[in-house]
Structure 1
Amino acid sequence: MQHSVEIVKIRQVTHNVRSYRLERPDGYRFEPGQATDLSIDRDGYRTRKNPFTFTGLAEWAELEFTIKSYFDHDGVTRALWELSPGDHLILRDPWGTITYKGSGTFIAGGAGVTPFIAILRRLRADGRLAGHRLIVSNRTAGDIILRDEFEAMAGEGLEVTWTLTDDASAAGVLHERIDAAFLGQHVRDMAQNFYLCGPDPMVKDLR
């Protein structure tokens, strides 16, 4: 089933990432870590489906998606950047992507952190952040998505590690690529649950 839903609010997150709050159809449900296919409800875009992960919580009155826009080609995320509250998107049924299976380490490259947002927000709301770790790689400090929110979670039990690959002047972070050597140095328990999302080469290498 699909629904045409209104964009209620748009918030800037980074220089190329925004969160979009959408009206929520009656009875629409999803689980943290799930995604859906969205389209822009206008001529030329209605059949162009892109997968995006829900980043809000199930009890919120509105749906939220946190989306990185790519301006180097004429794609859907670039067109999303041009939208305003009052415009409409086509929302479809949710489908499974990353399923939470217990405490462990979340490893993300860039916008690959977005599937973890709802899971970590759920754990925070339930007071269960302790025993989890988030490791995120970005090019620069300005690329880090929801840094303040994740660092606030660190005060509630989440262990947070930032690493930057192209910003040597940034303080208080690592400056290493996440690879086998990185895991060998920074992760003690290799038998724990791992949740991984990022660019395909990174995911392939880490697996």
Structure 2
Amino acid sequence: MAHTLAITKIEDITHDVRQFTFEKPEGFEFTPGQAAEVGIDKDGWRDADNPFTFTALPEWDELQFTIKIYPSHDCLTEQIGQLSLGDRFIIGDPWGTIEYKGRGTFIAGGAGVTPFIAILRMLRQRGELSGHRLIFANKREADIILREELDAMPGLETIHVLSEEDKHGFEHGRIDQDMLERLIGSTGQHFYVCGPDDMVESINGALKDMGADPDGLTFEE
């Protein structure tokens, strides 16, 4: 069932990421990590059906998406970047295979962190962040989504990796097996991986080569 929902709040998160908030329809349910197919109430874009992940918590009175905008592309996010308060999204039913299964390491590339935002917010609310790790890869420091919030989460070990800048306090390069071996310690834990397809494939392969249980890898299939 599709819901047409007006935007109630827009917030710039980084230079190219915006957060959109809507009223939640009565009875609408989802679990942290799930996404929905999205269009916008505009000619030519109502059936776009691009997937975006909810970054709100299920018990909130509102829904929220945190979306990377590509203004130079002729695509849905370019259109979303032009929206204002009162404009409307068309949101389908929740779906997705990324869900929390137990303590472990989250590995994200760029906007791939969005499925983990609600999960980490849930764990923070429960007081259960201790023992979890987030390895978050971006091109530059300015690209880091919700950095202040993530860095301040009590008990969460957050490691930022920059591929195009070499700065003090950050890992530099790309997440490969050598970096994973140095950063994660034991493979006897859950791993949650989200990002560009080639990154997810590479990291999953490296983790398996390191001895991680394939059943302990959670990613969008």
TM-score normalised over the length of structure 1: 0.96
Pick from 149, 173, 197 the counterpart of residue 200 of structure 1: 197
> Does structure 1 retain, via aligned residues, the 8 Å contact 2:105–2:189?
yes
> Does structure 2 retain, via aligned residues, the 8 Å contact 1:38–1:90?
yes
The count of aligned residue pairs is: 204
2:113 maps to what in 1?
Answer: 113
* CA distance in structure 2 between the aligned counterparts of 1:71 and 1:20, rounded to whole angstroms: 16
* CA distance in structure 2 between the aligned counterparts of 1:204 and 1:165, rounded to whole angstroms: 18
- Stretches of structure 2 lacking an aligned partner (at least 5 in a row): 205-221
Pick from 160, 163, 166 the counterpart of residue 161 of structure 2: 163
Pick from 174, 185, 191 the counterpart of residue 177 of structure 1: 174
2:211 maps to what in 1?
Answer: none
> Does structure 2 retain, via aligned residues, the 8 Å contact 1:35–1:97?
no
> After the TM superposition, which of the residue ranges 63-72 and 78-87 deviates more from structure 2?
63-72
Q: Which amino acid aligns with 2:177?
A: A
* CA distance in structure 2 between the aligned counterparts of 1:146 and 1:73, rounded to whole angstroms: 24
TM-score normalised over the length of structure 2: 0.90
Which runs of at least 4 in structure 1 moved beyond 3 Å after TM superposition? none
Q: Which amino acid aligns with 2:134?
A: L
- In the TM superposition, residue 142 of structure 1 has moved relative to its aligned partner by 0.2
Secondary structure of residue in 2 paired with 1:14: coil
- In the TM superposition, residue 118 of structure 1 has moved relative to its aligned partner by 0.1
* CA distance in structure 2 between the aligned counterparts of 1:73 and 1:141, rounded to whole angstroms: 23
* CA distance in structure 2 between the aligned counterparts of 1:167 and 1:81, rounded to whole angstroms: 27
* CA distance in structure 2 between the aligned counterparts of 1:205 and 1:16, rounded to whole angstroms: 26
1:137 maps to what in 2?
Answer: 137
Secondary structure of residue in 2 paired with 1:205: helix
1:82 maps to what in 2?
Answer: 82
* CA distance in structure 2 between the aligned counterparts of 1:110 and 1:37, rounded to whole angstroms: 20
* CA distance in structure 2 between the aligned counterparts of 1:15 and 1:29, rounded to whole angstroms: 31
> Does structure 2 retain, via aligned residues, the 8 Å contact 1:33–1:96?
yes
- In the TM superposition, residue 100 of structure 1 has moved relative to its aligned partner by 0.6
Which runs of structure 2 are paired with 1:140-155 in the superposition (5 Å)?
140-153=140-153
- In the TM superposition, residue 60 of structure 1 has moved relative to its aligned partner by 1.0
- In the TM superposition, residue 171 of structure 1 has moved relative to its aligned partner by 2.5
